[in-house]
Chain A
Amino acid sequence: MQKRAEKSVQQKPPAKPSAKPAAKPSGEDVTDLKPVALGRASDEDLMRRTQRGDRQAFSLLYERYSASVLSYLYRMMGNVEDVESIAQEVFLRAFRFAATYRYPQKLSTWLFTITRNLAINYSRRRKRSPVRNVTELNLDGVDINGDPYQVAQRATDDVEKQEEIARVLKALDDLPTDQKEVIVLGVFQDLSYAEMEEITGTKAVTLRSRMFHGLKRLGRMVGGRGSVVGDGKVEGAPGR
């Protein structure tokens, strides 16, 4: 297991945002832009350039974070249409309101706060207005891994493990939203509890509890292979 786990760590997506800048700017040097190539600049440096209207800097931030934002939204919302609408608004707002970003807050935290708030607002509107606007999907050419079995097949050659992975991923959608959210943010987006606390406005101890109980429920799915859980719902059933 140890070896397998190490392998999984090495397989982290290359496009994962560089959440940790090389050096955090101090309060004194926030106005000094270091003469580094944009591609190697920290998120905070790029954001400072964005605040001065540098669209090239913002496009680099977009490259760094678009996959994270899109994936987070897709995991939470469950359909690509919502992802498209919200994600566009996320980046437009991030650019338009770049001035509201304050150091030394991590850019990922700031960005996911925007994303989460927009997703919540969007969900509320959708509840009030069930009529959906079917928009043109502009995620053309994207790699959407929405099928848990295909994901599981790529993860391992072990058929038994593939089944377990697929069951866990499918069960993830049946978790209560608060538990699902903390797992998505903590496991899939690699955010710390401090960051999640800032994004969600929920205390870290509560988040830890949600993480624990969420994983526990998913663990039962792995061990119980479709057992009935607390709410009487059969988890892991094919076709969800």
Chain B
Amino acid sequence: MSEALGFETDEFLKLLTEALRAGPGSPQWHEVVTQLRALDASETDEYRLLIRARERLESGREYRSVRAGPGFTRKVMEGVDRAGGERARMPSAALIAWLAAGVIVAVAIAVVAWLTRGASPAVEQDLGSMYFSTTSISSDFSQGIPSEWRKFGLEPVVSAKAKGLRSGFTKGKEKEYQGGGIVAAGGFEPGQSFAVEAAVRISKASAQVDLRLFVAQDALSDSTSAATSRGEFVADLLDGQVSVFRPDGTLAGQQAAMGQGGDLVHLLIKMDRRNAIVEVDGRRLYAGPHGLAGDKPRWPGIRFLATGSEKSLEDVVVQSVRVLKP
């Protein structure tokens, strides 16, 4: 039957099933009926069987038909809203990610700049409020020059009469400025904050003794006799006046006139990686960048540049020096 009708052949099957799917009245339906009517009646019975099944299905199309109620629709739309919110938030998230990346880059740049060029102004403020409580070196020279110090240039001497350290003297060279002093045997890392304080007794304002409390960025050798080395931050006491000089030789901050007649003056330099504060007896003369290289160690020390008679050298004596750490 099937072979006679061609049910199993693809073309007729296609036509038949499409006719069934398309339903009565459709061109496919009309074509199938025309072909089937050309066949005998027994063949059309099965076709009618199919047609009836199809028709019953069509008649029962409402079977298990479901329409969404308000509860289901609300639930779906709430889900869509949430999904939409997530979609809408994505650009914000991306924006936040980009901003975060920008902040990270900015921080990295700032850190690099800080490491290479020095501290930020905030650190300068921190230096001013920093309390240096740990004594690294404390010397009153009553027993000579301690081993924590290394002498350079014209060796200073401990004056028993003046009870302190004064400039060395070379007979015959009274008319020349000769330099020499002491420097800490151990330097400080550039990131290490520290303070160096010298208690200086000024018997008489003298232009013949130039006392310098300094922080150098290069270790001074014993043979260094020059007045200065390159790269020093200096609090200079000359002729009763304290001045601050940066490594490039420029004058910085304020100047202060010291008292005379045996006054004890305290010179203080606080320093961190980038900044320095200079105070005289608690009076701040300078606060700002010290100008030293950010990658070199720091060597605190005292230098005398002196001329004139040996007696005049006792006009300015360093009674004690302390190096402190936070």
- Per-residue CB proximity of B47-68 to A under 8 Å, as 1/0? 0011111111111111111111
Q: Does B84 contact A (CB under 8 A)?
A: yes
Query: Number of contact residues on A: which range applies?
Result: 35 or more
Interface of A is mostly: helix
A139 and B60 form a contact (CB under 8 A): no
Q: Does B13 contact A (CB under 8 A)?
A: yes
Of B73-81, B115-123, B127-135, the one contacting chain A is B73-81
17 more A-B residue pairs beyond the given contacts A152-B60, A193-B18, with a C-beta to C-beta distance below 8 A: A8-B61, A11-B61, A55-B80, A67-B67, A70-B67, A70-B68, A88-B76, A91-B80, A96-B87, A143-B67, A145-B63, A148-B63, A151-B62, A172-B57, A187-B58, A205-B14, A219-B51
How far apart are the CA atoms of A141 and B17 in the complex, in Å? 37
Query: Number of contact residues on B: which range applies?
Result: 35 or more
How far apart are the CA atoms of A146 and B67 in the complex, in Å? 12
Question: Hey, which chain A residues are within 8 Å of B88, CB to CB?
Answer: 53
| 12 contacting pairs across A/B (C-beta < 8 A) | A1-B51, A1-B55, A9-B58, A13-B61, A67-B65, A91-B79, A139-B68, A141-B71, A152-B60, A169-B63, A205-B14, A222-B53
How far apart are the CA atoms of A146 and B150 in the complex, in Å? 104
How far apart are the CA atoms of A80 and B72 in the complex, in Å? 12
How far apart are the CA atoms of A148 and B63 in the complex, in Å? 6
How far apart are the CA atoms of A95 and B80 in the complex, in Å? 7
How far apart are the CA atoms of A1 and B81 in the complex, in Å? 49
- Distance of A219 from chain B, by nearest CB (Å): 3
Known: A88-B76, A186-B21, A222-B49. A212 touches B66 (CB 8 A): no
Q: Quick one: which of B1-51 are within 8 Å of A by CB? A: 7, 10, 13-14, 16-18, 20-21, 23-25, 46, 49-51
Question: Hey, which chain A residues are within 8 Å of B25, CB to CB?
Answer: 2, 5-6, 9
Q: Does A110 contact B (CB under 8 A)?
A: no
A215 and B69 form a contact (CB under 8 A): no
**A145 in complex: contacting residue of B16, B59, B62, B70, CB < 8 Å:** B62
Q: Does B104 contact A (CB under 8 A)?
A: no
A138 and B71 form a contact (CB under 8 A): yes
A168 nearest CB neighbor, chain B only = B56
- Distance of B79 from chain A, by nearest CB (Å): 5
B60 and A168 form a contact (CB under 8 A): yes
Question: Hey, which chain A residues are within 8 Å of B49, CB to CB?
Answer: 216, 219-220, 222-223
Question: Hey, which chain B residues are within 8 Å of A2, CB to CB?
Answer: 24-25
How far apart are the CA atoms of A91 and B52 in the complex, in Å? 36
B81 nearest CB neighbor, chain A only = A55
B29 nearest CB neighbor, chain A only = A5
Q: Does A46 contact B (CB under 8 A)?
A: no
Question: Hey, which chain B residues are within 8 Å of A144, CB to CB?
Answer: 64-66
B13, B25, B76: most-surrounded residue (chain A CB, <10 A): B76
Question: Hey, which chain A residues are within 8 Å of B73, CB to CB?
Answer: 62, 66
Question: Hey, which chain A residues are within 8 Å of B95, CB to CB?
Answer: none
How far apart are the CA atoms of A144 and B68 in the complex, in Å? 9
Question: Hey, which chain A residues are within 8 Å of B103, CB to CB?
Answer: none
Q: Quick one: which of A1-28 are within 8 Å of B by CB? A: 1-2, 4-6, 8-9, 11-13, 15
Q: Does A156 contact B (CB under 8 A)?
A: yes
Q: Does A71 contact B (CB under 8 A)?
A: yes
- Distance of B68 from chain A, by nearest CB (Å): 4
Q: Does B83 contact A (CB under 8 A)?
A: yes
B71 and A140 form a contact (CB under 8 A): yes
